[in-house]
Amino acid sequence: MAQYEIGLILNPNLDAAQAAQEKEIIKATLERHGVSIQNTDDWGNRRLAYPIQKDPEGNVVFYTVEASGESNAALEKELRLRDHVRRVTIIRDRPEWRKK
């Protein structure tokens, strides 16, 4: 199992309860695909480099996970189908990137 980082940009117009519910649904989706969540890093609403769907901000969340590489395309497709998910990126974490 390799380590991956999943970056998501969510709709910034969600209130706290809606954002928490969306994150729980995303967590359940990750677990359904056999992904083991190691760490969740919630950055909150951040200004983006360019507007996405006419919003200059986005709610940014990063998940550090362990997963097999076979289900990444299906996982990314399922996450993109969520209404409040604006962007999804899945990047394989490599140990040499952590060295200085």
In a domain, 97, yes or no: no
pLDDT at 24: 96
* 35 domain residue, yes or no: yes
Q: Tokens representing 36? A: 């083991």
Number of domains composing the chain: 1
Q: Is residue 100 part of a domain?
A: no
- The per-residue pLDDT string of the chain (100 residues; one tens digit each, 9 = 90 and over) reads 889 999 999 999 999 999 999 999 999 999 999 999 999 999 999 999 999 999 999 999 999 999 887 878 999 999 999 999 999 999 998 777 666 6
In a domain, 71, yes or no: yes
Question: CATH number of the domain that 38 lies in?
Answer: 3.30.70.60
Q: Would you tell me the crossing angle of helices 16-32 and 72-80 to the nearest 10 degrees?
A: 150
- 99 located within any domain: no
**Is 45 among the domain residues?**
yes
For residues 22 and 84, the answer to whether their CB atoms sit within 8 Å is: yes
The answer to whether residue 69 sits within a structural domain is yes
Name the residue range of residue 55's domain: 2-87
pTM (predicted TM-score) = 0.88
Question: Do the domain assignments include residue 95?
Answer: no
* Cα 70 to chain centroid, rounded: 18
